[in-house]
A = this chain, B = another copy of it.
Amino acid sequence: MRAITSPRVENISIGELSKLSGVNIETIRYYERIKMLPAPPRTATGRRVYGPAEKRTLAFIRRSRDLGFTLEEIRTLLDLGGPERASCADVHKIASAHLAKVRGKLSDLAKLEAILAETVAGCSDGTAPDCPVLDILDAGRQSD
């Protein structure tokens, strides 16, 4: 979609795009290679030229990555939001499955935090003669 009403066509280099989006240059090229991002037009000398559309897409990808979606999931999301603007239900399915995964991870991590905190506390400043941290890690499974 070429911006008809948009006055200036904002042409930016990959370096600028990288700075603007917070995505590594190498990663942007990587996204292009694996077809997460469409290949942009080039200058006569072969440099990539990006416009607002790519900027938007990249921001979408980045945000979704931050939220822990895999590239595969994001690809699907992008497709769902594409020309067809298909079923919101599909999007909902992906997002809520992902939410479930996140919640699982969250509770695992919370448990882990508790154990670790306890472990570390047992050896508060390293003056203990035998290190309880190692013992706890060692004896995690009591029945050995």
Binding site for B on A (CB under 8 A): 55-56, 59-60, 63-64, 66-68, 77, 80-81, 85, 87-93, 95-96, 98-99, 102-103, 105-106, 109-110, 112-113, 115-117, 119-120, 123-134, 137-138, 140-141, 144
**Secondary structure of the A contact surface, majority rule:** helix
Q: Which of B91, B123, B130 contacts A131 (CB 8 A)?
A: B91
Within 8 Å CB of A120, what residues of B? 92, 95-96, 99
Cβ A113 vs Cβ B102 within 8 A: yes
**A-B pairs with lowest CB-CB distance, top 3:** A89-B126, A88-B131, A63-B140
Cβ B138 vs Cβ A92 within 8 A: no
Within 8 Å CB of A55, what residues of B? 144
Tell me the smallest distance from the CB of A33 to a CB of chain B, in Å: 23
